[in-house]
Structure 1
Amino acid sequence: MKRLPQCAQLGSALVLVAAAMIPSALHADSIFQPIEYTLGDGTVVRISGQINMGVLNYDDGQGSFTNVVNNDNSSSRVRLQILNTTGEWKFESTIEAEYQPLASNVVSQYQDEPNWDFPATNIRKAEVALSHDNFGKLWLGQGSMASDGTAEVDNSGTSVIAYSSLSDTAGGYFFRNSGDGLSGISVGSAFSNFDGLGRKVRVRYDTPTFHGFGLRTSYGEDAFADKDFPLYDIAAVYSGDFDTIDLDAAMGYAWNDETDIETLSGSISGLHKPTGISLTLAAAREFTDGIEGRYGYVKLGYQHAFFGCGKTAFSVDYYFGKDIAAAGSDSSSIGLAAVQNIDDYNLQLWALWRNYAYDDSASEYDDGQAVFGGALFKF
């Protein structure tokens, strides 16, 4: 298929920038695909990862701030995997770490300097898994709990920059009181998607899928917390690929034994293949003895191959939350996102505009606005 010259030129320029950031030990002809080595018994050793950076501008109503940041919606990371899928029993092990000196969810009016340290919390995964088509999959080690991702199912094609976790963009910035001073309410504290228990040290079991349906459950502890405490969760998932529709859904229940906080989260997303139109819905509620936050999220998307270099995706979304940062508070946001895929270079060019609004009985607050653009390069 013929590629458009402008896509190729833009892709080449961005690849050169991304390649300069990859350790020089990687051979130049290997940066576009994962590096793989196959042993004699069929075991595959694979190195892969991604770089995802952009320029974020945040306007708090009375001041504007611009920084080059890592996109925390899908963080820059590298992974090492050992895989053996040649027999009925399949084995895999993964070590994955992210590196974000200045992340889009951390930068704020007070903090705009990169932190070049590498804390232990940068270790996303250190796990092994054993699976069988008839018996399911058992996971051990640091990785996703069963409820991780249950609020984040998204087939819109723009989740690299816009999905239910709104605080991944500009989450560190503080709302400004209408009287000029900065408040103590950050975007991150006012917009949560209550997406289960995240990644923890756990034992997890996934059942085999039956007509697209599956169950999973896990027990774990937070290895990076000051003290260990039990975490429990269970999730139900569905994935269906039909002639005209891709449909995915998930629902999870999670319980933190230390804080006695329970969360119920779910999401569903459908893509109509002939038209490229998608609809995504997400909602969750947190149950505690104190404030019980809740929210709803809706997203309308459209994707189409306008150019020969890859699909273009657009979306508009709306978030409405209640009692998340404080009792009686309201949080709302509308966002517009666009993503251009450049398939030959494993690139996604993305852009976002988002408005954040917050209200409570303590004060009046100016809206915040974020404009975020950049690129994701996978290798």
Structure 2
Amino acid sequence: MSTKLVLRSSAAVAAALLAAPAFAGPTYTNDNGGSFRWYGQFNPSFQNFDDGVEDYNRLVDNSSSNSRIGFWLEQSFGENTLKFHFETAFGLRASDGVNQATTGDSLSWSRTNIRHVDFQFETASYGTFSAGQGSMASDGITGADFSGTGLGAGVSVADIGGGYAFRTSAGAVSGVTIGDAFTDLDGSRLGRVRYDSKNFGGFVFSASYGTDILATNNDRETYDVAVRYSNDDLGAFALDTGIAAAWTEQTGQQDRRDISGSLSLLHKDTGVSMTLAAGDRDISGNYAYAKLGYSADLLAVGKTSFSVDYYDGSDLVTNGDSSESWGIAAVQKIDRFNLETYIAYRDYSYSDTTATTYQDSNVILAGARWKF
């Protein structure tokens, strides 16, 4: 597909989204304190990846926040509430699922696209108890971010191009992919039991135990703990932070322990934010991430956000290797249509202790997320 055709197709998708009416899934209630609410989003984007030798142009679904649909069922019992949550991705071609060799299927749904099949019992006195497919306690722990540019730039820097491989200085496609060399060591979604405490002055404590019930022939077991703190009333500042530890065991693989966390601080008067994240895996490597953001009401249609960020990783593929990435991003909200348009640029570099040298790669991602 030529660049011109891809750009025209991307423009057509954006035009269709802009023409769509503002829409939100309704909430249905009954006389006994029950409710049903459904929701979803589409997040198509145009991806241009340059591996130093070739350019690749794709129409993809943005893996930073993929297209999905879901619903909530809730029933109150006095001060307590029983909830059921279902959510699935559509299985559209993912921005981190294409590479130099193939674009894959434009639509390929499997049960691994199911994100939540989750029962939750929220109590007034003892916290929340959860069971089913859903987020582990450590899921999202590295995602604290007030910048407003998470659709284009975040700590999971491989989301917008992780399937592509680095090219060697000789021009050959190597065996090291962007996804191999860049990780956020964040938690995952598994079939799990989980407990979340009540909020104690902004602090919430969580613990969970889970296994991969959607993948076949998988005996992975993970247990984790996390603590989060958030406060949007620290004078002129708002703070969101958390840290977690996760232990994973799987037959035939070495046991591992991950420690990861993030912190984001917003100066509310200026819209300037700073975000930091870091992670360490005991059997491999570690990384650090920093981001500077700015959000303001520059246009009447909605908030405008900009950011610049930097990622530095070590020993994530082999001992002694180095992974570096920097990026810039802009997001424009269009409140009337529940729409966020965005564009992001990211550069990746990698080196290791072998005689092989690798060319830098870069990716441009532009798209729009429509929530309904």
- Corresponding residue number in structure 1 for 2:9: none
- Corresponding residue number in structure 2 for 1:347: 339
Q: Which amino acid aligns with 2:369?
A: L
CA gap of 1:342–1:136, structure 2 versus 1, over 3 A, is same
Identify which of 219, 224, 227 aligns with 1:233. 224
Residue 284 of structure 1: how far off its partner (Å): 0.3
After superposition, the CA RMSD in angstroms is 1.8
Identify which of 196, 211, 214 aligns with 1:221. 211
Identify which of 260, 263, 278 aligns with 2:273. 278
Residue 87 of structure 1: how far off its partner (Å): 3.3
- Corresponding residue number in structure 2 for 1:40: 31
Quote the Cα distance in structure 2 between the aligned partners of 1:85 and 1:335. 45
Residue 18 of structure 1: how far off its partner (Å): 7.5
Quote the Cα distance in structure 1 between the aligned partners of 2:221 and 2:108. 29
Q: Does 1:76 align with 2:41?
A: no
Q: Does 1:376 align with 2:366?
A: no
Residue 327 of structure 1: how far off its partner (Å): 1.3
Q: Does 1:366 align with 2:366?
A: no
Quote the Cα distance in structure 1 between the aligned partners of 2:18 and 2:31. 33
SS in 2 for 1:166: coil
Q: Does 1:303 align with 2:298?
A: no
- Corresponding residue number in structure 2 for 1:54: 45
- Corresponding residue number in structure 1 for 2:193: 203
- Corresponding residue number in structure 1 for 2:315: 323
- Corresponding residue number in structure 1 for 2:6: none
Structure 1 unaligned blocks of 5 or more: 1-11, 21-28
The C-alpha deviation readout for 1:327-374, integer Å capped at 9, x for no partner, is 111000000000001111110001100000001122101100101100
Residue 47 of structure 1: how far off its partner (Å): 1.2
TM-score (ref. length: structure 1): 0.90
SS in 2 for 1:304: strand
Quote the Cα distance in structure 2 between the aligned partners of 1:125 and 1:372. 27
Tell me if the contact between 2:91 and 2:108 (Cα under 8 Å) persists in the aligned partners: no
Identify which of 339, 357, 362 aligns with 2:349. 357
Quote the Cα distance in structure 1 between the aligned partners of 2:121 and 2:320. 47
Identify which of 111, 116, 137 aligns with 1:146. 137
Instruction: Work out the number of aligned pairs and report it.
Output: 356
Quote the Cα distance in structure 2 between the aligned partners of 1:33 and 1:107. 31
- Corresponding residue number in structure 2 for 1:66: 57
Residue 151 of structure 1: how far off its partner (Å): 1.3
CA gap of 1:18–1:97, structure 2 versus 1, over 3 A, is farther
- Corresponding residue number in structure 2 for 1:184: 175
Tell me if the contact between 2:91 and 2:110 (Cα under 8 Å) persists in the aligned partners: no
SS in 1 for 2:64: helix
SS in 1 for 2:219: coil
The C-alpha deviation readout for 1:238-267, integer Å capped at 9, x for no partner, is 010114211000100000022411000010
- Runs of 4+ in structure 1 off by over 4 angstroms are 12-15
Task: Give runs of aligned pairs for residues 107-122 of structure 1, distance below 5 A.
Answer: 107-122=98-113
Quote the Cα distance in structure 1 between the aligned partners of 2:107 and 2:317. 30
SS in 1 for 2:69: strand
Residue 39 of structure 1: how far off its partner (Å): 1.8
Tell me if the contact between 1:18 and 1:51 (Cα under 8 Å) persists in the aligned partners: no
TM-score (ref. length: structure 2): 0.92
Residue 211 of structure 1: how far off its partner (Å): 0.8
Quote the Cα distance in structure 2 between the aligned partners of 1:13 and 1:139. 38
Task: Give runs of aligned pairs for residues 248-263 of structure 1, distance below 5 A.
Answer: 248-258=240-250, 259-263=254-258
- Corresponding residue number in structure 1 for 2:260: 265
- Corresponding residue number in structure 1 for 2:4: none
Residue 171 of structure 1: how far off its partner (Å): 0.2
Q: Does 1:134 align with 2:125?
A: yes
Quote the Cα distance in structure 2 between the aligned partners of 1:86 and 1:267. 36
CA gap of 1:189–1:205, structure 2 versus 1, over 3 A, is same
Q: Which amino acid aligns with 2:320?
A: G
The C-alpha deviation readout for 1:196-231, integer Å capped at 9, x for no partner, is 2x0000000000011101100001111134132321
Q: Which amino acid aligns with 1:45?
A: F
